[in-house]
Structure 1
């Protein structure tokens, strides 16, 4: 196997993930500082830990992504396609929704498992050491937890056809929601958060309650599994 090419692809993808994290988290941390001056002023040591864990997670996310990217470009692995007419145009947003629903399902159940005491201590305590979470905590994971997150999208590209641009859309949504849900305050308008759409889509108000009470609100994008399993406790009054 051409190990040099694979290593180069893994290194490039790790750099992309790290830069994406720094850009997105940095942008929303800047917004927080402007909108709520001093809100995270005393959290310097915590933020430095969050950045350190997140950059380690970037490698864990980047390595499998880089291997899959190399296989796709070199051997045609995966069901990623580039021709717009390969599938009907109506399928483009459907693929995005399928990916988000599948990822959300994987995240809900693995996240809930990691809240069992034994698993929590080994895998998830690092993430919950952020009290309160900040925009920099989006990828602040213990390596074992990072692995559970890193395999989801690379696995899906072997199962569900998706245009490369729509895959980019999925990654953009994943990045933005991962960051904004950890800012500790609600950036979206109240009328949206408390609308019919807000009853099913997760924002900072919902995820903040998870960081306050731990045993509730386990979802990533949607509230479906929390509602179905009785783990949805609504919005935090503090976000």
Structure 2
């Protein structure tokens, strides 16, 4: 049993690493096409981002692999694969609940990591990317990676979710993690500066966080920043 659990953890870590390389590599390639020269002179930084991110992949993958084994072999979690086990309306609701819960955890832990001691010990690795690139999405100190790695594995024990809906959550998490750091805005101005942009986080919003540090802490949504007075609007692109 222990060998099977370890193998599942290693396999999931490899999957997370490949997912990171494909997603970040894909958006880095898109950046090269749409914003030629944007990452010029950042080869050393990108190498560090990839190194930290691959280490983070192992940390994210290990608990996910253990949970995946428990789901399949012991039925530990509330993940289900029969789409009719819950009403169909629960599919989008469960996705939204997971995103809201993850966003809440991220906001408060992220904000806590900007306290001076915690920043130096944990979060400085991420902010060493100046400016961040598409490769920086998982560029974390191991302690910060661990704080993020436990969220989704914990939620699957509490909130029922279809395996396909869980895939949607992980896809959104991956895409937004990469696109929020790639140094330019891929979404149209009418979305970013319109009604939807007042509540959804894109690269323009997160860029302000990398400019000023003590603001714009959210991951998917802006409501915690708005409620807590830490929303400082949209940032500018260029060297920070």
Query: Which TM-score applies when normalising by structure 1?
Result: 0.99
Query: Tell me, which stretches of 5 or more residues in structure 2 are unaligned?
Result: none
1:9 alignment counterpart: 8
2:104 alignment counterpart: 105
How far apart in 1 are the matches of 2:156 and 2:237? 38
How far apart in 2 are the matches of 1:17 and 1:105? 23
1:50 alignment counterpart: 49
Q: What stretches of structure 1 move > 4 A for 4+ residues in a row?
A: none
1:28 alignment counterpart: 27
Aligned residue-pair number: 238
2:115 alignment counterpart: 116
- The answer to whether the Cα contact below 8 Å between 2:205 and 2:235 also exists between their aligned partners in 1 is yes
How is 1:201-220 mapped onto 2 (pairs within 5 angstroms)? 201-220=200-219
Query: Which TM-score applies when normalising by structure 2?
Result: 0.98
How far apart in 2 are the matches of 1:212 and 1:164? 37
How far apart in 2 are the matches of 1:91 and 1:66? 25
1:155 alignment counterpart: 154
Residues 102-160 of structure 1 deviation map (CA, whole Å, 9 limit, x = unaligned): 00000000000000000000000000000000000000000000000000000000000
1:167 alignment counterpart: 166
- The answer to whether the Cα contact below 8 Å between 2:125 and 2:139 also exists between their aligned partners in 1 is yes
Within the alignment, does 1:67 sit opposite 2:66 as a pair? yes
Query: Tell me, which stretches of 5 or more residues in structure 1 are unaligned?
Result: none
2:222 alignment counterpart: 223
Within the alignment, does 1:145 sit opposite 2:144 as a pair? yes
1:55 is paired with a residue whose SS is helix
How far apart in 2 are the matches of 1:210 and 1:89? 37
RMSD: 0.6
